[in-house]
Amino acid sequence: MTRLVIASGNAGKLREIGLLLQVLDIEVLPQSAFGVPEAEEPHLTFIENALAKARHASRLTGLPALADDSGICVTALGGAPGVISAHYAGEPRSDARNNEKLLAEMQAQADRRAHYHCVLVLVRHANDPQPLIAEGSWHGEILRSPRGEGGFGYDPLFLDFRLGKTGAELPPELKNRVSHRGRALAALLEKLRQSPL
């Protein structure tokens, strides 16, 4: 079984990625299992941050590494919170405080459109010149109050147009199919089938 380090400490992301990569007989290990500290994320784009995180985890473990950089982009806020979604309301990170801040910022906004965006970068080794890159988006709108108990991050505020449910109201298997991360992982799986680790 191939071992792959996930360059994240986010339990929700680890769970989603682990479930989806099982089909390729890939053992997913969190970077914390190797004592790898979180990488710096100084960049303005999801792709640059994901690449930095993947190279960092691979360099410190000697294993292939997969990093995800994702966030929610709100049209009325010019794409914010974007790459700072996880710490929109500052440190320490808190989903509840992030959601409160987003609701406050959106209070006077009529345009509620938003989308989650995810970029996955997989490097076979730290200096891989051809990393596998996959992206996915999930479109919806920001509600005026939270709904649902599941998911994480902004899921209680994010309404999927087509399904009429928030990310926090969807069962995990359905969320994994329709979400930004699910779509990016499906694209990555296809690339891995064509170019195995």
CA distances (Å), origin 32, targets 7, 28, 37, 124, 176: 9, 12, 7, 19, 23
Which residue out of 25, 68, 69, 155 is catalytically annotated?
69
Tokens of 153: 């991050």
Query: Residue 23 and residue 150: Cα distance in Å, rounded?
Result: 24
Tokens of 176: 């994994």
**Nearest partner of 177 among 186, 190, 189, 168, judged by Cα:** 186
What's the sign of the alpha-carbon dihedral 190, 28, 132, 9? positive
CA distances (Å), origin 77, targets 156, 170, 177: 19, 26, 27
Our answer to whether residue 69 is catalytic in this structure is: yes
Identity of residue 127? N
Task: Give the active site residues.
Answer: 69
